[in-house]
Structure 1
Amino acid sequence: MVVNPEPADPRIPLDDRPPGPRNTPGCWIVTSLTAFIVFVLVIVGLFLPPINLYDRMFGPKFVPLAEPGESLTTTDQGFRLVAAAPSDDFGANLSAIGLRDYVANDGSTQEWIPTTRSAVPYYLALQSPVYSIETNGDTPDALVYSINIPGNAPERDLLDLYGWQDETQAWEFIPAQVVDNRLEATTDELYQHVALFQAAPDTPRVVISYDVSQVLNADTANLATVVAPAGLQPTLDGKIIGSLAPGFDTNNGYLVMPIIRDFADPRALDTTTANTILGNRTLRNEHASGIAQLASVGGYDGVFIDYRGLSEDQRDNFSTFISDLGQRMDTLGLLLGVVVPAAENVDGVWQTGAYDWRAIGKGADIVQIDMGLDPETYTPGETQLVEAMLRWGIREMNRYKITLGLTAQSVREFEGAFTTIGYDAALAGMGNVVVEAPNVSETGSIEPGSEIRAYLDGLQANAGVDTIINAPYIDYLNADETPRARIWLTTGDALRYRMDMTIPFALGGVAFEDMLSNDLAQDVYAAVEDYRTQIPSAPSPTDLALRWSVESANGLVDEITTGLREDLIITLEAPDGNYAVNVAVVGIGQEANQSVRSGAAVALFQPTPTPTPPPTATPTPTPTVTPTPAPIIPTAGSTGGGFSAVAPAAGSIGDFALGGHVHNVSGAAIGAMQRSGMTWMKKQIRFYPGYDASDAIAFVGQAHAAGFKALVGTVGNPADVAAGGEAYLREFANWLGAIAASGADAIEVWNEPNIDREWPRNQISGGGYVNMLRLAYQSIKSANGSTIVIGAAPSPTGAENAYPGQVVNDNNWLRQVVDAGGLNYMDCLGMHYNEGAVPPTATSGDPRGDNYYTRYLSLFLNEHWNIIGGQRPICITELGYLTPEGYPALPSFWAWGQNTTVAQQAAWLAGAASLLSNSGKAQMMIVWNIDFTLYASDPQGGYAIIRPDGSCPACDALAAAR
């Protein structure tokens, strides 16, 4: 549409036209006010986020750190913040306040200083400027904090990086490793202030845990700042079962923190349960909740978690579990302790497997690191294992949480493997006292003024001291003087040196799991007490020596000290009477630690004049038997460790266990055993692949119903062992576990595996047997921690040279077991003695000759005892005397027993029980046998104490010995 302009009407005067609009003052005011408001809003908007004009003009200058690697450094170059992950809009501004200014500032210029300064723990001392961090935008998932170590700072091993959190109003430890001359930390936490602090040693904690079979005593409790009774284990449904070890008191001056373990015995871990719980989020949460409730309801100060052998793929889950549990415990005001294995250095990198030290250290209050057993790793030096690991460890978690898990026992070293051993047991390999004299009367006495020689009948040994680590040791030697094994003796000095490794790193303290062991060096307790109270030590490592004593009924007659390998040669000038020659292994100048070996008795009497009879007719001479001179009788030492100074009365079996091997659980067998005073019943059950354990389980029930403890002897077929390999061993172990679960009181794992009748030919070795024993032990203990595991008794034989590949001598086979670590997987060592043809006290006179020790009970026992160094008791699971009385003559192979009578069998069995119960070495004797009747090429019936006519003379003899 076109619009044409319309001209004005010329007929209307100009003055009469309507007035147009006028610019009044009110319009200008509104316009100006509107414009001003808009202007103000624009200005205010410029000063508000996201523009923040004021801050951009006059406030902190935020440097963008959006990409990984972008960094910002303080003007003094002392601190650098680095982005380690991307962020869209993160920026930071750094500032610093010097150490002196921070200490002196009253808060008038920096309001945050008084609050942060008053929150510094008493054991920390500021060593750097305090660096403040202001940020904007979203914090990246990872930041690197890098702070210079001042040139005038003290020992850098005591420097830690701490960060202040406004949210918690506390300084928090930041894990940081040393890189060149800086401490660098990578974390997802954003701190408002960071600084270096010097750590000072605090009062050390002493954590003492103990097993459910032990009772906390007053002496041990007095050492502890934390007591951790065991007895609790997790279940597959996430719950906790068990009962705590007794003896603790929640109001006795120490913290009580029950320890929850995935094992009853550390040699038999139940890894399945813990791994199952950790792998399931619901179970994991329920488990953490249940533990926190247990600690709270029980009135404890906290708990320890000791889950060993976790699968490495559970690393993150275990860390999450500890973090969750730690938060729950914090909420309740309770403590959380965690036990972890030592770190391993692999190609220069420290690895901790399933146990993330950094995450665990953040969630827990106490972290117990179970250290290795090798004493030489404590040698000082930056490249030495313990020192290097601790230097790395204090950068991963708060040093005050770190607790060194040590052993108070001595340590046996063989071919690079280390096992714990008691102090007396460590020295048991030296043997016991033997006394020789040139002129011994028919009654076994010697004349006053006679010279005697006394010596120890064990292994040759050399002693020494590693003065760098304050550790005495003893090297046991083979017959050719070559080294066999080294025993590191844990004396008080040796232990104090290891405990003092905590001091230069200002660690939290030490922990022990074996402080209630009854075979520690005598000065160990004093050393721990001095460490706890920080009384300086004065180490005096010393050589070992033998301290001999000759004693009479009235007391000490003489005392002499010789070198460790010296015999005692003396002339006995003393009144008539009975004397004892005793010896203790001592440290020169450090006699508090002594190990008393079994001594020997000496009868000292003047010969009695024989009056000359009046002449009589000389009868026809008749042959007479020349009496065998009575041997000098071994007796127990007088004081200290080892065996009791006063032996039990002859014939007293005491706590010594007596039992019998039955063919059938019949009324006759039960009656004979009850009549004999036996408390154990043994039966041998053979394992076949694919068969269940019902036969063995039935026997256990029968034995218990008859009132006996059940010992199940087990064995399989050599051909199955050879063909089945590892799978067979595992199936056999599972079978044993089922027997243990049924309530078996003891299981002997296999039978005489040193001969090819029971083990594959050309594969016989103690090491091979230990592979079986290890799996068996773990299965048995996992099923029933109370079941006694008895290591297989070797067949008594010395025929390996005559039958190579078919036989290994019992002593050589047993040495192989010990060297392979087999003692770690048994509670008792089995022994069979069934070829005796002489009384149990005899040491010579066997009709076959004296060419092998297995023919004499005491020599056989001592051989086995010395080989194992007294580290385990001996269980004689077969002991019998063969007699053909009531049967036909014995086959030629068994003819050595032809002259033994039933009366001798009875007397010798009773004598054997008395000898073994008094030996201090044997824990059990099972009579072989009770009721067998087979009498052919293997005359088992000849060993039976129930004779063919139904009589049992041995029953009464054994009963009389009790």
Structure 2
Amino acid sequence: MASMNEEKSPFIKALEIFLEGERTGQLIKFVLIPVLLILAALLPPISLVDRVLAAGYTTITLGGGSVVDLDGTQLTILPQGLSQRIRVRLTSLPRLDFLAGKTEEGEALELIPPYLDMKSPLYLLKVRGPMPEASFLTIPIPNDAEPLATLDIYQWTGEEWQWLPHKIIPEDDVIETWLSSLPPGIAVMQTRPRLPSVACELGEGGTLAGAKSDILTRVSAQGLFLQNDGLSGEATIGGEISPLAQGEDHVVIPTLVNRVNGVIRDDLTHNILVNEDLRRNHIQEIVGLVVESDYAGIRIDYAGIGPPLREDFTAFITELTDQLHAEEKLLTVRVETPVQIAEDRWDTGGYDWEALGRVVDGLQLPALPLPQAYLPGGQMEALLNYALGLVDRYKVRLILSAQARDRVGDQEASLSYEEALGLLGGQIALPGEEVNPGQSLTMEPSSLKDWGMQYLEGAHTYWFTHQDERGEHTIFLENAESIAHKLELARAFNLQGVMVEGLLDEGCDERVWEALSQYAAAQPCSIQNQFAILWQVANTQGEVMAEEVCPLDDPTFSWTVPQAGEYIISYAISDDGGQTASVVGGEALLVALAPTPTPTPIPTPV
């Protein structure tokens, strides 16, 4: 065995000389030790680089968490979808600095649409780790953000500004938005009115002869309906659009309904929506029809979609939108009137407004039917506030009706404006069919006395009641004044526009076009209907003997018979203060008899 004291090997001797050398000491002192220190700082548990890069970030655990900006804006990350801890940073760029171009976000500044005014700082969001799938951002409402009805939140994607669903909570002075991912930037924007669009509905076989082409920008043509579910391989779409609907001054959008002879075919709708193959075939048929007929797009009006079909209907509309957009075509969807379930919440049934609003080009919302909803601060304003938190206001079109409504109990029917006014017509209460010259007569329309006309001032709506064998009828008139009031509401909320049903039907108040002209020009809509009774007396040769205009609340007419003869006494209902007659109310024939001469008595012979 070798002795421990044997002479060291040459390698060991060389190593000892190297380690004991002056240069080796310097190498260890100035190179090796610093490298080890750097490695120790970079590697866990110190991880200096991560600590430096994570400066300003807040760690979010699997249980979720939040981060708050200096102005009180708070980003809350929910635990849903979190698979590991992440780090999140929320900072803000002062609004004035951003708008003055003093930040590095120049592209975001340049691409703000001209119809938006930035009111908040630009909030910058960054995340280290997997993107959170569920979060919401709560922002204090900026001081100069009024009016709140037109306030929105937009996200900067790095390429463009996009609208975000949100909710304004005035009592807490905040606006909040919910996020499925964190965008690079977010800002509160005040919206500006864009040139509004006026559309109307054209019935089957109808024409646009009476339409004002300088006002209408879009026509929804009726004629297509759901006729089959496609199970047997037959076409699902029936009907056709009249060629008379085509025009050069407006966009023609055919409407596809799921009603046949007024009956909702919810059986066909259900079968198509729940079956992926049938749904795919139906979509292909719709797209083919639009492309082959060279329509600008299509309007889907599927009524009776219940909550069980909510996801299926959303999938149908999403898939249809994708295919139509691939062909550069538009999709508009009409939803049904929701039911209010709380002051700020509505049940929209099977129509997911938020999901539909993300994909469609237009969402049409029926206006509430009762005039009380249009009182200041009323139900219609509440509905629009709710809707515009779910759907971009520049996609929303309010559906109005130019038809009067006849309500009996919980039943409602439509009738034209002239038909409604005609109900006020009736017999004239005369003292008798035969009178004498010089006799003074006082007349009044018996129906007006019995029914009366009432005015709901805040809603700008006239209404009256009458009785028949079915019970008490309440007739709500829809005329230029009531339509103008609703147009002002659409204008106040900066909506995409309005759709007016019944606009081209006979008997519509012609002055509605005047209100629509003001609206289309982005001008205040202000029209007043002044109801009056226009009395007239004429002889049988048509010569007018007397005329008088009386207010509705005192419609009596007094006239003195000038001489013997036959006279036609008539009255008309006027809605412009008596300048013109809207509808004839009633007339009566009056005969004034010449006085019978008293015979001269013959003297008695003496």
- Normalised TM-score (structure 2): 0.84
The alpha-carbon deviation at position 284 of structure 1 amounts to 2.2
The correspondence of residues 825-840 of structure 1 with structure 2, limited to 5 A, is: none
- 1:414 is matched with 408
Letter in 2 for 1:248: A
Structure 1 CA distance for aligned equivalents of residues 190 and 479 of structure 2:
33
Structure 1 CA distance for aligned equivalents of residues 50 and 5 of structure 2:
63
Asked if the contact 1:163–1:174 (Cα under 8 Å) also holds between the matched residues in 2, the reply is: yes
Structure 1 CA distance for aligned equivalents of residues 287 and 34 of structure 2:
61
Q: Matched residue of 1:219: which SS?
A: coil
| Matching residue within 502, 505, 511 for 1:517 | 505
595 and 432 in structure 1: CA distance in 2 versus 1, 3 angstrom threshold: same
Asked if the contact 1:408–1:514 (Cα under 8 Å) also holds between the matched residues in 2, the reply is: yes
189 and 282 in structure 1: CA distance in 2 versus 1, 3 angstrom threshold: farther
| Matching residue within 89, 93, 98 for 1:97 | 93
- 1:133 is matched with 125
- 1:171 is matched with 161
The correspondence of residues 702-851 of structure 1 with structure 2, limited to 5 A, is: none
Structure 2 CA distance for aligned equivalents of residues 570 and 419 of structure 1:
40
| Matching residue within 352, 359, 362 for 1:363 | 359
Asked if the contact 1:544–1:587 (Cα under 8 Å) also holds between the matched residues in 2, the reply is: yes
Asked if the contact 1:212–1:246 (Cα under 8 Å) also holds between the matched residues in 2, the reply is: no
The alpha-carbon deviation at position 347 of structure 1 amounts to 4.4
Asked if the contact 2:436–2:595 (Cα under 8 Å) also holds between the matched residues in 1, the reply is: yes
- 2:238 is matched with 241
264 and 141 in structure 1: CA distance in 2 versus 1, 3 angstrom threshold: same
- 1:191 is matched with 183
Structure 1 CA distance for aligned equivalents of residues 186 and 270 of structure 2:
38
Asked if the contact 2:279–2:316 (Cα under 8 Å) also holds between the matched residues in 1, the reply is: yes
Structure 2 CA distance for aligned equivalents of residues 257 and 486 of structure 1:
35
The alpha-carbon deviation at position 601 of structure 1 amounts to 5.4
| Matching residue within 133, 142, 145 for 2:137 | 145
Asked if the contact 1:131–1:195 (Cα under 8 Å) also holds between the matched residues in 2, the reply is: yes
Structure 1 CA distance for aligned equivalents of residues 41 and 278 of structure 2:
54
Structure 2 CA distance for aligned equivalents of residues 569 and 23 of structure 1:
138
The correspondence of residues 233-312 of structure 1 with structure 2, limited to 5 A, is: 233-234=225-226, 235-237=228-230, 239-250=236-247, 252-265=248-261, 267-312=262-307
Q: Matched residue of 1:296: which SS?
A: helix
Matched, 1:317 2:309: no
| Matching residue within 462, 469, 491 for 2:452 | 462
The alpha-carbon deviation at position 209 of structure 1 amounts to 1.6
240 and 57 in structure 1: CA distance in 2 versus 1, 3 angstrom threshold: same
Letter in 2 for 1:119: L
104 and 339 in structure 1: CA distance in 2 versus 1, 3 angstrom threshold: same
Alpha-carbon RMSD across the aligned residues, in angstroms, is: 4.0
Matched, 1:372 2:368: yes
Matched, 1:533 2:521: yes
Flag structure 1 segments of 5+ consecutive residues without an equivalent: 441-445, 610-962
The alpha-carbon deviation at position 224 of structure 1 amounts to 1.5
User: Equivalent pairs: percent with the same residue?
Assistant: 23
Structure 2 CA distance for aligned equivalents of residues 306 and 551 of structure 1:
55
The alpha-carbon deviation at position 78 of structure 1 amounts to 2.7
Structure 1 CA distance for aligned equivalents of residues 464 and 455 of structure 2:
9
189 and 258 in structure 1: CA distance in 2 versus 1, 3 angstrom threshold: farther
Q: Deviations over 1:421-478 (max 9, x none)?
A: 21222133334445868576xxxxx987787786656572211222222222223368
Structure 2 CA distance for aligned equivalents of residues 279 and 45 of structure 1:
60
The alpha-carbon deviation at position 371 of structure 1 amounts to 1.8
Letter in 2 for 1:425: E
- 1:725 is matched with none
- 2:327 is matched with 332
- Normalised TM-score (structure 1): 0.54
The alpha-carbon deviation at position 400 of structure 1 amounts to 1.6
The alpha-carbon deviation at position 130 of structure 1 amounts to 0.3
- 1:813 is matched with none
Structure 2 CA distance for aligned equivalents of residues 48 and 433 of structure 1:
100
62 and 18 in structure 1: CA distance in 2 versus 1, 3 angstrom threshold: closer
Asked if the contact 1:259–1:306 (Cα under 8 Å) also holds between the matched residues in 2, the reply is: yes
Matched, 1:352 2:348: yes
Q: Deviations over 1:509-559 (max 9, x none)?
A: 211221122111231222222222133344435344343342644554432
Structure 1 CA distance for aligned equivalents of residues 161 and 559 of structure 2:
72
Structure 2 CA distance for aligned equivalents of residues 20 and 510 of structure 1:
95
The correspondence of residues 30-45 of structure 1 with structure 2, limited to 5 A, is: none
Letter in 2 for 1:213: G
Letter in 2 for 1:236: D
Letter in 1 for 2:465: D
Higher alpha-carbon Rg:
1
288 and 52 in structure 1: CA distance in 2 versus 1, 3 angstrom threshold: farther
Structure 1 CA distance for aligned equivalents of residues 9 and 398 of structure 2:
106
Q: Deviations over 1:241-292 (max 9, x none)?
A: 3211443335x23222211111245x42222222221111222233333323
- 2:114 is matched with 122
The answer to which structure has the higher strand fraction is 2
Structure 2 CA distance for aligned equivalents of residues 218 and 176 of structure 1:
41
Asked if the contact 1:522–1:592 (Cα under 8 Å) also holds between the matched residues in 2, the reply is: no
- 1:391 is matched with 385
Structure 1 CA distance for aligned equivalents of residues 455 and 347 of structure 2:
33
Asked if the contact 1:231–1:264 (Cα under 8 Å) also holds between the matched residues in 2, the reply is: no
Q: Deviations over 1:742-778 (max 9, x none)?
A: xxxxxxxxxxxxxxxxxxxxxxxxxxxxxxxxxxxxx
Letter in 1 for 2:229: L
494 and 574 in structure 1: CA distance in 2 versus 1, 3 angstrom threshold: farther
Structure 2 CA distance for aligned equivalents of residues 420 and 399 of structure 1:
29
The alpha-carbon deviation at position 50 of structure 1 amounts to 13
76 and 470 in structure 1: CA distance in 2 versus 1, 3 angstrom threshold: closer
Q: Deviations over 1:683-706 (max 9, x none)?
A: xxxxxxxxxxxxxxxxxxxxxxxx
- Once the two structures are overlaid, the 10-residue window that deviates more, 85-94 or 97-106, is 85-94
The correspondence of residues 470-485 of structure 1 with structure 2, limited to 5 A, is: 470-476=460-466, 484-485=472-473
Asked if the contact 1:474–1:487 (Cα under 8 Å) also holds between the matched residues in 2, the reply is: yes
- 1:923 is matched with none
Matched, 1:550 2:544: no
Letter in 2 for 1:405: I
- 1:200 is matched with 192
The alpha-carbon deviation at position 353 of structure 1 amounts to 0.6
| Matching residue within 409, 418, 425 for 2:419 | 425
Letter in 1 for 2:270: N
8 and 501 in structure 1: CA distance in 2 versus 1, 3 angstrom threshold: closer
Matched, 1:54 2:27: no
- 2:337 is matched with 342
Letter in 1 for 2:523: I
